[in-house]
Amino acid sequence: MKTTYFSSLAIIIAMACISLSCKKSQGENTDLKPLTMGAAQAAAAACSAQGWASQNGGTTGGGTATATVVTTYATLKAAIQNTSVKVIQVNGTITIPSGGRISFQDQTGKTIFGSSGAKLVSADQTKDNSGIIYVKRCNNIIIRNLTFEGPGAYDVDGWDNATIDASNNVWVDHCEFRDGVDGNFDIKNTADYITVSYCKFAYLKPPKAGGSGGSDDHRFSNLIGSSDGATADRGHLRITFARCWWAQGCVARMPRVRFGKVHIVNSYFNSTASSYCIQAGFEANLLIASNVFENVKTPIDLMSKTSTAVQVTGNTFTSVTGNTAGNGVTAFTPPYSISILSASSVKSTVTASNGAGATLSGNTCTSI
């Protein structure tokens, strides 16, 4: 992984803040603590996403706004729901109470990031009270360096750790999603221009059997598009998964895609619990390039063969069983430039100490 520091830009930003005596935004909750942003953080905040999130005007989140520090559920929720707060820093472990899933709606230009070791944790496995965050009708959002930890998979039609719904230009970078009730992280309902980079997905807790949904092992990580009947998703769900890691415990949906133009590149799949990895659903258009599949079952699941295109190029398959081929149709051509590693470098890059997962020290700008 390469980390980019815009030193001269950082100095300019820092000097501008000093000369203007940057202050806490008006209307900000008085219980929240502002944190003066140093030069490095300012430079990091100024960078923008690559992949699909670079399109449609780009994705810069809250930019160089002063970070507001949160350490409790109450201050986290208040900061997320306060439209005046543009950058949020999460410190430590914050427990989401039963039924306390945070609704993050109708906002533009915001960054939520964790300091080293920051976690958002939910222990509720019920249908209605599970989940951590639900992002809906938002634009230009960055979520970075956070671990989202659920209580374990249980098929009761509950909530994912995180969901992006009807939102545009979202960059989810260096996060870890594990042990979600219904799934780890889903994207649906005309969401568009999304980049998920250097993220890790895993299940470390055993699944709970006997749920009303009928699956005794619902360790299904990522769903793109909610149903074949959600035809409003046509022309949307343009998503890049770059340098991600589907790690131990994942059984399926890595991801499962309907409708979207989804670029899965330079990612690592090594869950020995797997039944299916990438799943090509209804009208999916998938470009699967230079990834590594190791000790998994069914790397490419063509499902009912109703996909638009499944193009598989430059991947490495080691000790796998099941299908490794596409459907013979050429996928979309990405409208963006992205640095693509050879498959031989993917595993070491993704699993490095600063690779996929919440492995940063804060809001550090990274490049793909």
Condensed to tens digits (0 to 9), the pLDDT of residues 124-183 reads 999 999 999 999 999 999 999 999 999 999 999 999 999 999 999 999 999 999 999 999
Asked whether the predicted pLDDT for residue 204 surpasses 80, the reply is yes
Q: What is the mean pLDDT of the chain?
A: 91
Q: Would you state the pLDDT for residue 31?
A: 45
Q: What is the 8-class DSSP label of residue 206?
A: P
- pLDDT band for position 38 (cuts 50, 70, 90): low
Average pLDDT score over residue span 63-70: 96
Strand order in the sheet with 256-257: 102-105, 133-136, 162-165, 185-188, 223-224, 256-257, 278-280, 300-301
Q: Would you state the pLDDT for residue 226?
A: 95
Q: Of all helices (H) and strands (E), which one includes residue 257?
A: strand 256-257
Average pLDDT score over residue span 282-309: 98
Domain harbouring 201, CATH code: 2.160.20.10
Exposure string of 253-269, with b = 16+ CB inside 10 Å and e = fewer, is bbbbbbbbbbbbbbbbb
What number of CA atoms fall less than 13 Å from residue 66's CA on the CB side?
18
Give the C-alpha separation, 208 to 20, whole Å.
55
Is the N-terminal amide bond of 151 cis, ω within 30° of 0? no
Q: Would you state the pLDDT for residue 41?
A: 54
Q: Would you state the pLDDT for residue 39?
A: 52
Asked whether the predicted pLDDT for residue 5 surpasses 80, the reply is no
* Tokens 């707060």, located at residue: 85
Average pLDDT score over residue span 257-275: 98
Give the C-alpha separation, 23 to 333, whole Å.
45
Asked whether the predicted pLDDT for residue 68 surpasses 60, the reply is yes
What number of CA atoms fall less than 13 Å from residue 37's CA on the CB side?
34
- pLDDT band for position 47 (cuts 50, 70, 90): confident
In the annotation, is 253 catalytic?
yes
3-state secondary structure of 217: coil
Asked whether the predicted pLDDT for residue 252 surpasses 80, the reply is yes
Percent of the chain with pLDDT over 70: 88
Q: Would you state the pLDDT for residue 367?
A: 82
Q: What is the largest CA-CA distance in the chain?
A: 62
Condensed to tens digits (0 to 9), the pLDDT of residues 323-367 reads 999 999 999 999 999 999 999 999 999 999 999 999 999 999 888
Condensed to tens digits (0 to 9), the pLDDT of residues 86-119 reads 999 999 999 999 999 999 999 999 999 999 999 9
Average pLDDT score over residue span 294-322: 98
Among candidate residues 144, 238, 253, 258, the one labeled active-site is 253
Q: Would you state the pLDDT for residue 46?
A: 59
How far, CA to CA in Å, does 350 sit from each of 108, 154, 184, 268, 291? 30, 28, 19, 7, 11
Q: Which residue, 117, 122, 113, is CA-closest to 90?
A: 113
Domains: count for the chain: 1
Give the C-alpha separation, 38 to 51, whole Å.
27
Q: Would you state the pLDDT for residue 32?
A: 53
Domain that holds residue 8: 2-367
Task: Return the axis-axis angle of helices 7-20 and 39-46, rounded to nearest 10°.
Answer: 110
Q: Would you state the pLDDT for residue 365?
A: 86
